[in-house]
Amino acid sequence: MADEPNGIKQGLTHYGDGGFSLFLRKAFIKAMGYSDRALDRPVIGITNTFSGYNACNRSVPDIIEAIKRGVMLAGGLPIEFPVISIHEAFSHPTSMFLRNLMAMDVEEAVRAQPMDAVVLIGGCDKTVPALLMGAACVDLPAILTVTGPMITGSHEGERLGACTDCRRFWSQHRAGVFDELEIGEIGNKLAPGPGTCMVMGTASTMALVSEAMGMMLPGGAAIPAVHADRLRHAEATGERAVILSSEKLRPSQIMTKNSLGNALRVLQAVGGSTNGVIHLAAIAGRLGFDLDLDELNKIGAETPVLVDLKPSGRYYMEDLFNAGGLTTVLREIDHLIEKECITVSGRTLGESMAMQSASWPNDVVRPIADPIHRGGGIRALHGNLAPKGAIIKQAAATPGLLKHTGRAVVFTSLQDMADRIDAPDLDVNAHDILVLQNAGPKGGPGMPEAGSMPIPRKLAAAGVKDMVRISDARMSGTAFGTIVLHVSPEAAVGGPLSLVRNGDLIRLDVEEGLLELLVDESELVRRRSEWTAPLHTHVGRGYAKLYFDEVLQAEDGCDLNFLRAKPRR
């Protein structure tokens, strides 16, 4: 309503005297050097996700300055404020364990402080979903921008990119191809600058699906972190935030069932990270929807992988940017997307696509008639080993292993795997199936990216490059191999995965969507009677207690149950 307070006057601290509350607020904010004229403008909050522990977000201060410029050009007052910043490699026990805490921080910081709209700055993997989850709960006008992907490095003439090449070279180091000196030299070149992983990892995936959902201005997902275009996009984002504050266009109007469908469609078309499934499920839950794994498979069956990027292809994110970014992909699947979805630009997705430059010939985005992989990048599986589902990134798997029956070699925990995976006497061969238990939401805790288990050293040295691997863990979007993930219910809550023993036969049939433990039910009943929950899941205090009490399984995005919205009718 027109008489509702806005700007610095909204959300006053409760002192029992509104006039005094505003007087006190202005007195203290003027200590920052603001004038009354500045304080009369619409207030645009800007989340500062910079951290000395987060190289992906190293460029956030420059992005903030560009956003502030845009806000002021449009007549607003930009005010930055800190929120939790998460980096995958600097988060113990895992970044996923902390994603929900960051989402809570974003939600409460935006709700508690006066702002008419908020600009969300994402970067490393979990920051984008956490920002969107928090923004969805507050439902204040919000717009997302990201730090953008790193440029590539080089080693002896070979182009390098974190972190698909991190994993590839480390595997070769484990197999004895590279010694300590050379692997150290390679490590110096894998991440040559600020920004997120320059392959189709989780950060790239979430940037692209967020743009497809309509929460980012067109073209923003693929701009490299060091390009001037990244700052120009940030400036435009700041300008648009001021307009959003008057239009009152809210996240709940943008992130709808149809736009989430577009996000899943793009997830499949770009060969995106399996983590994207969990994050989109969590975002959907904050909006009152459930993400349907059967719908994921239906979309996958219609949507081939078109983007030739590592780990499913050859190229890097800067190549996708040079090919036209997400718009080039959307035009190839034009007949499959919901073009009437409104976006943060105020236009529909179809209108935004039409306003972009015409596409041009390139090798990065393949025509839909000649895809990288048919049948979608990600496939959901079901069966007695995964009653609530599991997923596999089939586009990055070995085709000959997608239908496979093998003997289980079981690791009961991350520590057990670390202790035994390279043991010379480990009873394992290339046809076996590696099984990791107790690495899920509670078991890890926080679903560590341990699903891409290393090939046992003695097999790697013999030239084995892939095996079927099954776990309740996640894996990085930069990883590759025939890896079944997110098995639900997880082992730590007594799911069937906890009942697998060494020597059991497991059948995987990706085409049929099956994951089956070939053990008599009577034997499984006996094993179930002996099962006990891991001791570490019983925590008495702090965020860890809240996490273990409330965390949901993979199919619900590993969100905290009390934070999910009531289902929409």
Distance CA 547, CA 539 (A): 9
Average of per-residue pLDDT values in the chain: 95
Q: Which of 255, 261, 249, 248 is nearest to 287 (CA)?
A: 255
Per-residue pLDDT at 91 exceeds 60: yes
Judging by beta carbons within 10 Å of its beta carbon (0-12, 13-18, 19+), is residue 258 exposed, middle or buried?
Answer: middle
> What's the pLDDT tens digit per position in 352-409?
999 999 999 999 999 999 999 988 899 999 999 999 999 999 999 999 999 999 999 9
Lowest mean pLDDT segment, chosen from 29-43, 180-194, 323-337: 180-194
Cβ proximity of 199 and 478 under 8 Å: yes
pLDDT for residue 421 is more than 80: yes
pLDDT band at 8 (very low <50, low <70, confident <90, very high): very high
Task: Say yes or no to pLDDT of 165 above 60.
Answer: yes
Cα separation of 7 and 41, whole Å? 7
* Span 260-290, pLDDT tens digits: 999 999 999 999 999 999 999 999 999 999 9
Token pair for residue 466?
């892939």
Are 99 and 126 in contact, with CB atoms under 8 Å apart? yes
The average pLDDT across 236-242 equals: 98
Q: What percent of the chain stands above pLDDT 70?
A: 99
pLDDT attached to residue 5: 87
569 pLDDT more than 50: no
Q: What is the pLDDT of residue 160?
A: 86
Distance CA(162)–CA(185), nearest Å, equals 14
Residue 161, pLDDT score: 82
Query: pLDDT digit string (tens) for 126-141?
Result: 999 999 999 999 999 9
**Helices 293-302 and 257-269, axial angle in degrees (round to 10):** 50
212-230 confidence digits (pLDDT tens): 999 999 999 999 999 999 9
Residue 1 pLDDT: 43
Cβ pair 254, 217 in contact under 8 A: no
pLDDT reported for residue 3: 66
pLDDT of residue 478: 81
Token pair belonging to 521: 């039910």
Residue 304: asked if its preceding bond is cis (omega within 30°), the reply is no
- Give the pLDDT confidence score for residue 538 in this predicted structure: 85
DSSP result, 209-262: HHHHHTSB-TT-SS--TTSHHHHHHHHHHHHHHHHHHHHT--HHHHS-HHHHHH
- pLDDT attached to residue 176: 87
Average pLDDT over residues 69-94: 95
Beta strand 483-488 pairing with 505-509: unpaired
| Closest C-alpha to 93, from 434, 440, 419 | 440
Between 240 and 537, the more confident residue is 240
In terms of Cβ atoms closer than 10 Å to its own Cβ (0-12, 13-18, 19+), residue 133 is buried
Return the pLDDT at 568: 58
Percent of the chain with pLDDT strictly greater than 90: 87
List CB contacts of 454: < 8 A, sequence separation 6 or more.
171, 174, 421, 422, 460
Beta-carbon contacts of residue 17 (< 8 Å; ≥ 6 apart): none
Cis bond upstream, residue 137 (ω within 30):
no
> Greater confidence, 171 or 43?
43
Please tell me the predicted confidence (pLDDT) of residue 135. Answer: 98
* Residue at token pair 């910043």: 85
Give the per-residue pLDDT at 191: 87
**What is the distance between the alpha carbons of residues 163 and 562, in angstroms, rounded to a whole number?**
34
